[in-house]
Structure 1
Amino acid sequence: MPEGHSVHRITRQFQRNFLGHPVRFSSPQGRFVEGAAVLDGRTMTDARAVGKQMFLEFDHELWLRIHLGLYGAWDFSGDLLLDATIASANGRMGQTNQRGTDLNAVPDASILDTAGENSLHSIGAPRRTRVRMSEQEKELNQLEVFPPEPIGQVRVRLLTETVCADLRGPTACEVLDPAQVMVSMARLGPDPELDNSPEAEERFTSVIRRKPTSIGKLLMDQSVVSGIGNVYRAELLFRAGINPHAPGKSLSDETVRALWQDWAHLLHIGVETGQMMTMDDLDRADFHLAMRNRADRHWVYKREGLPCRVCGTHIVIEEMAARKLYWCPRCQA
């Protein structure tokens, strides 16, 4: 499932290519015909992400809410204005945490990882391309015909004179009015990329500190905090030295606030670079290695049975909140 940085990056792509333009809607799959008819011809006026959900606003106070879920993906094609945001569409790609690193001075912007992904810098704009953003396939190729034929079960197609966006396999895709949008957003916890104010931090802290639920479950609860998924949960808790089974109310005010601040830090870098590499203070050689291989980007995620990078204890795996949890029983005792 995509984590928060991916959805923010997709939203940026809509901001660059669709805002201010009338949009033609269709549903090649046939499952969004009525919604497409309502939105067809409307001009996009806003695009925003809240955690793992995206909200596209159109004139006449109409909104499109999308939740990609486990299988959702976008295909963009046409004369795209592309930057780093285009490279991560649904959370399969990583994240970067280079504390103290100047994002404008990345050692090598041309690095491709073993999955062929490169999202540090622009991949060119404008360019008539097709960029497929899905869990198993990533493509960037020249188009001979625009708009291209839909690939797979396209729930909804958004089309301007120069750019096309196809949505496949979302968990949610629905037209809302402003009141319904407010209700949907109100159900979501704070998102530091959208609002990193003291009030947002206080909201997160106060909820965590009054809950008897384990912190490992709370971080995955989108009504508590928006955008954190399985990777960020494991890495945040390890970085903080927090036992994932600790009740939220057992944590100190200082600990919870530091957790929020680290989440804001990781999320912002993930949005800017598209890579969820949560390792710190890497030298040039290790940075290059990590950018090529996801196994070298994380402290504990997907490292079950391997020695902890800090203490040597074997990383354990268990199920929590219906997802796999990775942690070090010594560093996070």
Structure 2
Amino acid sequence: MPEGHVIHRLAAHLNERFRGGPLAISSPQGRFDATLIDASSLALAEAHGKHLFLTFSGGEIVYIHLGLIGSLRFEPAEDVWGQIRLRLVAGETAANLRGPQFCRYVSPAEMQGILDRTGEDPLREDASPDALFSRVQASTRAIGSLMMDQKLFAGVGNIYRAEALFRQGVSPFLPGRELSREEFFVLWDDLVLLMRYGFEHGRIDTVREQHTPEAMGRPPRKDDHGGEVYVYRRAGEPCFVCGTPVAVRKVEGRNLFWCPGCQG
């Protein structure tokens, strides 16, 4: 499932390339009724965590959640392939949505209901880390579990969870109520930093300058997700900082990576 910075990048690209002018909108797959918005214009694309909302000139709102296998790709308009649920065409460019978990119309009240159930997004200016800290401090759940809860940390996925905790030397098994205010806000600020980098560069890089391949004389990472990381998908490999083998454990159905040496 894409991390939150990917959804924000999609929204930014839609606003830049598809907003304002009339669009040719269709559903080649036939599983979405695009007739309500065909030939209308995109008023705003907005990301909240892993949720994407497209508001059109007639007031219609399309809610998209990519889920595990969904994708939204910007492709040449003449390039039509696969099962396209929703297709927006502006000139020679198309935005093609394939395999989403959700693609449906929602009312303003339904949209607000989704937002009310969504946590604080490190990439949004209206995020309230103070409100989030209060909820974390009241919980006996491990911080590694809390960070994967989209009702708390919106947009944070497995990579950002593992990497931010490592960078701050916080054990993923520490109960939320035992995380100090200072530790929480340093962790939050690091999430903001890392996710903004991901938004700006389109990849996840979390290693500090002294741990890059160039600085350490090591080969660059080869992984579908790209980017240089400390612990994510590095189980059994030596930690770049202390040399301890990176550990992995299945927690709540997801692989959790951490360094027993640096994170206790």
Structure 2 distance, partners of 1:45, 1:66, is 16
Does residue 257 in structure 1 map to residue 189 in structure 2?
no
Does residue 246 in structure 1 map to residue 244 in structure 2?
no
Deviation at 1:291, TM superposition (A): 6.5
- Which segments of 5 or more consecutive residues in structure 1 lack a partner in the other structure? 78-129, 131-146
Give the number of the structure with larger relative contact order, counting CA–CA contacts within 8 Å between residues 6 or more apart: 1
Counterpart of 1:51 (choices 49, 52, 55) is: 49
- What is the match of residue 91 of structure 2? 161
Structure 2 distance, partners of 1:287, 1:26, is 50
Q: How does 1:16-55 map to 2 (within 5 A)?
A: 16-32=16-32, 34=33, 36-55=34-53
Does residue 310 in structure 1 map to residue 238 in structure 2?
no
Structure 2 distance, partners of 1:53, 1:148, is 28
The answer to whether the 8 A contact 2:206-2:228 is kept is yes
Deviation at 1:296, TM superposition (A): 7.2
The change in CA–CA distance for 1:149 and 1:69 in structure 2 (over 3 A counts) is same
- What is the match of residue 105 of structure 1? none
Deviation at 1:257, TM superposition (A): 1.1
Cα shift readout 1:140-193 (whole Å, capped 9, x = no counterpart): xxxxxxx32521111111123343111001111111121211111121111121
Aligned length: 261
- What is the match of residue 111 of structure 2? 181
- What is the match of residue 285 of structure 1? 214
SS for the counterpart of 1:164 is strand
Counterpart of 1:194 (choices 124, 149, 156) is: 124
Structure 2 distance, partners of 1:212, 1:187, is 20
Structure 2 distance, partners of 1:55, 1:271, is 18
- What is the match of residue 330 of structure 1? 261
- Which segments of 5 or more consecutive residues in structure 2 lack a partner in the other structure? none
The answer to whether the 8 A contact 1:220-1:321 is kept is no
The answer to whether the 8 A contact 1:61-1:177 is kept is no
Does residue 267 in structure 1 map to residue 185 in structure 2?
no
- Give me the identity figure in percent: 38
Counterpart of 1:216 (choices 144, 169, 172) is: 144
- What is the match of residue 231 of structure 2? 300
Instruction: Supply the AA of the counterpart residue of 1:285.
Output: E
Cα shift readout 1:3-25 (whole Å, capped 9, x = no counterpart): 01111111111011111122222
| Ranges of 4+ aligned residues in structure 1 off by more than 2 Å | 160-163, 282-296
Deviation at 1:252, TM superposition (A): 0.7
Counterpart of 1:60 (choices 40, 58, 69) is: 58
SS for the counterpart of 1:165 is strand
Structure 2 distance, partners of 1:332, 1:317, is 13
TM score, norm. by length of structure 1: 0.74
The change in CA–CA distance for 1:255 and 1:180 in structure 2 (over 3 A counts) is same
SS for the counterpart of 1:45 is strand
> Comparing 154-163 with 231-240, which one deviates more in the overlay?
154-163
Cα shift readout 1:37-92 (whole Å, capped 9, x = no counterpart): 22222211111111111111112221111111111112313xxxxxxxxxxxxxxx
Structure 1 distance, partners of 2:213, 2:244, is 27
Cα shift readout 1:238-267 (whole Å, capped 9, x = no counterpart): 111111111111111111111111111111
What root-mean-square deviation, in Å, do the aligned CA atoms of Structure 1 and Structure 2 show?
Answer: 2.1
SS for the counterpart of 1:28 is coil
Cα shift readout 1:201-227 (whole Å, capped 9, x = no counterpart): 102211111111111111010110111
